[in-house]
Structure 1
């Protein structure tokens, strides 16, 4: 992907919004136990649920299709729920099309596609200013795709821009752009390689497929091939693969075929057809014998994986393998979970999946071994579960549960018209891979029709072949990610030296075209909000939406990780995590199985301020889903055996966080910024090693009674249900729950925080190809401070978004990072400003200086420009309809408004608010809150490379070792 990856965004969100740990006094008195509805004496009978066939009938994406004379295939799906259109393009070229010496080219070109074409100097600026969201692209083995979701009035602009880079890109691709994007891609590779277990993906592909197989080398390619890429090379790559006859365009949303066809013809019709792309042979490979490989890495515990190549997505066995692997290790009640995590307790986590591509698939099952368990014992147990499942197959109930959970997820996906996984992508992939936009329907029908014997037969056919075994074991990293991911025969056929190619000739300019204007954007139509109160005083908010037959519900408590300041660090996280580990009438497996039968999903979690239980449910199954959620929330067992297992998993999560550079930086930063304030608690909810070791089931029961009480709760629901239907069901599930007599606990969010001070904390993590830079300061604001939208807009200019000054400078101009971001937290109490920049290790000091210079330039040295002002104001206004496309987005907005004390119509009036903020106010907010003085800097990187670069900064530097990540199970002789 050309912008920050999902994992990077998650890490960034943790760094920007969450906080790290400081132990708080313990031994506080606890509240008396609240009165809950009595638990049933026995588990209720299994609820009736919609059949798989009934669920499949609800999944429908009608479409029209036409093909231009130049071969461009266009698919149109009409969905009028919002004035937006998803624009999705799939180019039928991916890394499998790359020859020797050219690995990484498809992905590199994806990045170049955003660098501007002949008539569009920068692809992002006009689209973001027009209100586009999810403006992005990605590359995989079989394809390269580009997405944007735009207001209906900006559709012509999007089509103009997409057609210009399809038909007039090459004259704008310069050596300078190639060099910069090469640097960005190489930092994307470093960022992935720098993660725990980050090299395993290379090893799996290398082990399953021989040298020269199209799925052998990684999509991101090798450093050597990227270094050697010349301007002539990348130009030829474009002309060979990017013609309109090799593209599928999908328009989904507020559009119809009659309107779309003349627009597509106007913008794309004159682009000449390109050469036909030759097909590649890329089927599955059967190993001649089992293979084993060990990788030593800076990881907290041993990870054992079993891998096979499998068939492509059009194979008759694809559906059965998807369900079979889901039963093996994808379901919460999977075979691996039940046997290795809950049963023998040899693993802290397990997974299995079929990652299916056009011509082959990766079938993987893995376990993270519990510390203290002998590796040989874990290996034997993993292999036995797989062998038993392959031999005997699943039960009828397992198949139905797996099918229902997948179908429920597919129905939820129908909410989005665009994006990487919405209806546009679904139709495009059917056309690209199967010449059938409705392939999704055939796939779902095949899944719904599966029998246990069909699953057993497919699993036996494919997992009965020789296996590739890989183990990642704790220790000093011995492999070099820079040398992995390529063709595989570099020793015998070294790539061409960088910079030796002849200079590419200058190309003639493309014909001039002008961008069309953006039509006015409709005002945001936020769903109507209804409110009521249950008999026990719990407020209920409903926003009814009928787009899909599902709903989302959250029960939010005024607690969160900050509540651990009154208990023990890690209490809230472990207590919430244990709610699904067993009630007085159901064990963890029964809870998981019941969710799967219902097509429901119950989750628990927290932020700094709020502890939550969430429920996603099919509308038809709401009553039994609420009954299950009520039992989970009100009647947890906190059994000793379940506690021991859950705490072990939390300890493993903590070890993983401490070995992940971005997570380690985040945990460190919050303690440095907040001192003894409640927000100094670990923002991941994991506490500390010492605190987790001290927790007991009794402590969790006390915390449950103290914090999860009806007078600290709010219920919010968004989806396909009426208040008349909803309230009686909520009353039955939660109305009998009474608050205890003890007063509500109060978090001291007005506790003073340490005075800001400029300093550097360097955490030494040897062998890190990147440094993670995290800078932060507590602002003299709280989340309830009114009228701070000008600060949010100033942050959009400085660091929030692809076009922010920090990202354009350090990523796009200098090529030192895969992405730089800044953020303003919106906690209820004190607000922080933080900047995260993962950068190549040898540019750590230079990147800090660039951050300081870029932040200090606004507003005095470099005032906000007219282009920036228009982008962050008009662009934000025009994107509002996109921001509330899904039920989950609407629910999050309502919950935030209630938590921060905002008026109910906050988002409806937000456009008016933005229009009232001028550039001077934005600059004033930057001058007051976003200057680099007094920032605390946390750097996680290799000390020997980084520390010499810090001397010229003139800041005090404290060096700390990274936490040890060597697991107890790193050798065969470890004790049980």
Structure 2
């Protein structure tokens, strides 16, 4: 239910002199010391009705994470009712007896952030982070759907969310390898096993769900005695107890939810299957059912998975990808649930290689780890990586992985909110001998071997909705608890002070101090971006970035990967429309060593010809994969249609042009690097708990003597070719249970202008869960799992893009409905007073929650620089929002958007979709999916 945007990062340089690195950098901090830094103080109490409440006080921001975890998931579902737990999670967002509107209506009015709900095998949870002034209201709402929901569940609501869930299922199934999850659960677990079916459920079972069924499900599982409530943030235990008692105390106990017996099954004999899918690469899997987190062997299995295929320097990466070049991607993961887990190893076969050879080598490497165990260094690297990740995650109070999650998970699964500490202690104490013994215990049992090969899918099992029966008119339910609690006085955003300094060579350092957790994050950002890619050689920048950590003049790719893991650091590169960057994260205790490695990567990449050849093959494989993905196909087509073929931003065609990438040489990469990845195009951004003076000295020692080589690259935005005329481009992708729609329209907007009015107006049109387009296709028609539209802001151009997946038989009607939504919004049906009020309220009150983490602050600093805004820009937003009027926002939207200029890209099965599109009234151009690579 949430959409997140990804930030950028950057590159490397080949022929410059080695920087003056700090040769006396201390050794990485031992993992045992990192683990000691992970601490979440908490207190807890229980209400007489059984509700368990856990409170963590964290005063770093005026927000509180509210997280409710119910002891109910798909493992509790009886035969014939698969998917019920997840369907009910959706129903809980559709209003309760005393808060009858969509739940997001209320959370938006509070400025909630990090809000969602999820369901898995073991639990269902609901969470939101709210301003402390809205805590009363948030607790009222959570208590209302815990104790006062049944009156709000009607046949119409069940039908609506059934359709939404079925489109969520189609969306996942529509992806390459999207059907593997069903084979996996069916093979590893008996059909009668609690974990023997997927959480999303079967279409037929979802079709059969009735109001009576879902109400019975609620009565059996959603009582307070079956839940854990965690409050983490700007709240103390005494206040929490008063408020929780007030809002939850009157809810009666429900039946005890009995956790089903779930032994770890062992296959009677090895099982091997082959399935066909419309994929680009053959993928080989090896899978076992293993114990879950309630078994002491789970942590050792985590380490085994890391050693095999989780680390960047894993055994499988080093052997199959780097040295033998048999695979283009490998992975190993131990996915632990409460009672069982699934240990999964996979490899994507390099095109032209015999899959049987890859399978043989995969099995040999797994067998070697089992027989001989990992090294002590491998175990330590896995433990350091995992501990550093946990430290970073705990900067958030809530969301998908913050403090509230750690406390709730331990309480629900292990009756111990502090269970995370035991897991980390076990991780730090793991030894090669123990990992070897546990691997031998569980991974020598019969294996499930699945191979996915390119080919036509089997017929898709579609939904057969029950015939609609005219229901008797329902009297509106009446509230029994009074009005919503009032909001308190909202606290203003306190954005960290941003400071500026210059290195000895003039590179600007932009810095902010944050000390909630002992980490440092940063990026060196270059004035390059997608617009700087090489015309006629698209993909040059991507390959240059891929070579970033594949060897420097002093380290090979394995040494780089191992160094990052020992430090608990990550170093990644990427590009946006206008900027290219290299980003880093490290525990601050390892800052010196991490910056030594970071500088070596940025300044001294080797571009070894053998590594260039290997990475080219991997990039060509990614391009092939993009041609099998709905989103990948659409993303490769839209730039030239929306920007015009010759415009610099039209270069953003996924991973590049396959023919051009195949022809790239080392010299091409060095030339790009010297033109763009250079100190005179660089700025450094850092957020850290270390003082500016220390950070500046550290960067000066490593980058202060860096000088550019040769002429700098130049981007030319002076010639703008015309975007495409309105039309529909249908990319024929057979066997698609959904159609993916990407619509784009050019605008006259420039990213460096003040776009706040039009972006704020879009909150109502397409930028929010409650937006017109999402409420239309998802909630009113339930043809989609979600719709999102936004202005794709770039420095010199800002088109509007909208994306959604819709069920195949509603493709044409969906486009017509979206056309009507857009036309109405910019003509006769502008922003209503209610929409305006909730947009402005949310925009202001969500600011403290939006900047809870260092990563958010780091991204904001870069955005301010790119769009030429002052450092205190975000602190000035409340005043700007309060000055807006609905008419001003309407005028901004109407000036920017012309619904008649949209180009519609549809990725779907032409045999099912073409006839629907012909009735829309736009020219329809059909492109086979395999031909998209040739669209230039």
- Could you tell me which residue of structure 2 aligns to residue 371 of structure 1? 351
Match of 1:718 in 2: 687
| 1:850 aligns to 2:830 (yes or no) | no
Matches within 5 A, 1:788-799: 788-799=755-766
Of structures 1 and 2, the one with the larger relative CO (CA 8 A, separation 6+) is: 1
> Per-residue displacement from partner, 1:894-932 (whole Å, max 9, x unpaired)?
001101111111111011111111100111122122341
Name the CA distance, whole Å, in 2 between partners of 1:907 and 1:682: 29
Pairing partner for 2:782 from 796, 811, 815 = 815
Once the two structures are TM-superposed, the CA of residue 640 in structure 1 deviates from its matched residue by 1.1
Cα deviation code 1:20-42 (max 9, x no counterpart): xxxxxxxxxxx9987443589xx
2:722 equivalent to 1:757: no
Deviation sequence 1:537-592 (CA, Å, 0-9, x none):
10001101111110101000011121114572001111011010001111101000
Question: Which of 343, 355, 362 is equivalent to 2:323?
Answer: 343
Give 2:897's aligned residue. 930
CA contact (8 A) 2:766 2:789 kept: yes
**In the alignment, which residue of structure 2 is the partner of 1:422?**
402
Which of 626, 629, 644 lines up with 1:660 in the alignment? 629
Q: Is 1:703 the equivalent of 2:672?
A: yes
SS of 1:820's equivalent in the other structure is: strand
Select 1:177's aligned residue among 116, 140, 157: 157
Q: Residue 307 of structure 1 aligns with which residue?
A: 287
The equivalent of 1:939 in structure 2 is: 906
User: Are the counterparts in 1 of residues 160 and 781 from structure 2 also a CA contact under 8 Å?
Assistant: yes
Give the aligned partner of residue 832 of structure 2. 865
Q: 1:51 aligns with which of 6, 30, 54?
A: 30
Asked if structure 2 preserves the Cα contact closer than 8 Å seen for 1:171 and 1:510, the reply is no
Q: Is the 8 A contact 1:32 1:706 kept in 2?
A: no
Structure 1 unmatched ranges of 5 or more: 19-30, 484-494, 967-976
1:900-915 correspondence runs (5 A):
900-915=867-882
Offset at 1:279?
2.0
Q: How many residues align?
A: 929
Residue 749 (structure 2) aligns with? 781
**Structure 1 residue 863: Cα displacement:** 2.5
1:41-88 C-alpha deviation (Å, 9 max, x unpaired): xx9799511111111110000001000000000000000000000000
C-alpha distance in 1 between matches for 2:927 and 2:502: 52
Matched, 1:875 2:842: yes
2:650 alignment partner in structure 1: 680
By how many angstroms is 1:741 displaced?
Answer: 5.0
> What is the DSSP-based 3-state SS (H/G/I as helix, E as strand, rest coil) of the residue aligned with 1:171?
helix
Q: Is the 8 A contact 1:749 1:830 kept in 2?
A: no
Q: Look up the match of 1:748.
A: 716
Look up the SS of the partner of 1:908 in the other structure. helix
2:553 pairs with 1:584: yes
Aligned partner of 1:632 in structure 2 is 601
Tell whether 2:403 aligns with 1:403.
no
2:18 maps to which residue? 37
Q: Write out aligned runs for 1:546-585 (5 A).
A: 546-566=515-535, 568-585=537-554
1:886 counterpart (817, 842, 853): 853
Q: Please tell me whether the aligned partners of residues 33 and 740 of structure 1 are also in contact (alpha carbons under 8 angstroms).
A: no
* Equivalence for 2:416: 436
Counterparts of residues 440-451 of structure 1 (less than 5 Å): 440-451=420-431
Most deviating of 436-445 and 498-507:
498-507
Task: Output the CA distance in 2 between the equivalents of 1:409 and 1:416.
Answer: 12
**Paired residue for 1:277, among 242, 251, 257?**
257
Residue 832 (structure 1) aligned to one of 791, 799, 805: 799
Moved more, 216-225 or 116-125: 116-125
- 1:60 equivalent in structure 2: 39
SS at match of 2:533: helix
Matched, 1:241 2:221: yes
Q: Is 1:134 aligned to 2:114, yes or no? A: yes
- Report how far residue 750 of structure 1 moved: 3.5
Match of 1:90 in 2: 69
Assess if the C-alpha contact under 8 Å between 1:474 and 1:965 holds in 2.
no
> 1:358: how far off?
0.5
CA distance in 2 between counterparts of 1:412 and 1:596 reads 15
* Alpha-carbon distance in 2 for matches of 1:104, 1:741: 61
C-alpha separation in 1, matches of 2:779 and 2:629: 25
Question: Does 1:641 find its partner at 2:610?
Answer: yes
Preserved contact between residue 555 and residue 713 of structure 1 (Cα < 8 Å): yes
User: Please, which of 349, 364, 373 is the counterpart of residue 393 of structure 1?
Assistant: 373
Whether the 8 Å CA contact 1:34–1:709 is kept in 2: the answer is: no
Whether the 8 Å CA contact 2:13–2:604 is kept in 1: the answer is no
The answer to whether the 8 Å contact 1:304/1:469 transfers is yes
Which digits, 9 at most, give the CA deviation of each residue in 1:309-362, with x for residues without a partner? Answer: 000101111111111111110000001101110011110000001100000000
Q: Which residue of 2 aligns with 1:187?
A: 167
Which of 265, 286, 306 is matched with 1:326 structurally?
Answer: 306
Give the superposition deviation at 1:512.
Answer: 3.8
Partner of 2:638, secondary structure, is helix
Q: Are 1:602 and 2:582 matched, yes or no? A: no
2:487 aligned residue: 518
Question: Is this contact kept in 2: 1:599–1:617, CA < 8 A?
Answer: yes
Contact 2:16 2:604 in 1 (8 A): no
1:412 matched to 2:371: no
Find out whether 1:198 has 2:178 as its counterpart: yes
Q: Does 1:464 align with 2:456?
A: no
SS of alignment partner, residue 652 of structure 1: helix
Looking at structure 2, the residues matched to 652 and 312 of structure 1 have their Cα atoms a distance apart, in angstroms, of: 34
The 3 A distance-change label for structure 1 pair 546 and 39 is: closer
Partner of 1:80: 59
Native 8 Å contact 2:81 2:209 kept in 1 = yes
Pick which of 728-737 and 501-510 moved more: 501-510
Unaligned runs of 5+ in 2: none
Match in the other structure for 1:297: 277
CA contact under 8 A between 1:283 and 1:312: conserved in structure 2?
A: no
After superposition, the CA RMSD in angstroms is: 2.2
Q: For residues 505 and 285 of structure 1, what CA distance do their matches in structure 2 show?
A: 48
Residues 230 and 501 of structure 1 are in contact (CA less than 8 Å); yes or no, is this contact kept in structure 2? no
Q: Report the equivalent of 2:500.
A: 531
What displacement does 1:676 show? 0.6
* CA gap 1:702/1:39 in 2 versus in 1, 3 angstroms: farther
Aligned-residue offset at 1:170: 0.7
Deviations 1:282-305 (A, max 9, x none): 221111110011110000000000
Aligned partner of 2:772 in structure 1 is 805
The match for 1:491 is none
For residues 286 and 272 of structure 2, what CA distance do their matches in structure 1 show? 9
Q: Report if aligned partners of 2:25, 2:592 keep a CA contact under 8 Å in 1.
A: no
Pairing of 1:613-628 with structure 2 (within 5 A): 613-628=582-597
CA displacement 1:814-846 (0-9 Å, x = unmatched): 000000010111211211101112100110111
Question: What do the CA deviations read for 1:627-658 (whole angstroms, capped 9, x no partner)?
Answer: 10111111111111111111111111111111
Superposed displacement of residue 739, structure 1: 1.9
Q: Distance in 2 between matches of 1:835 and 1:500?
A: 35
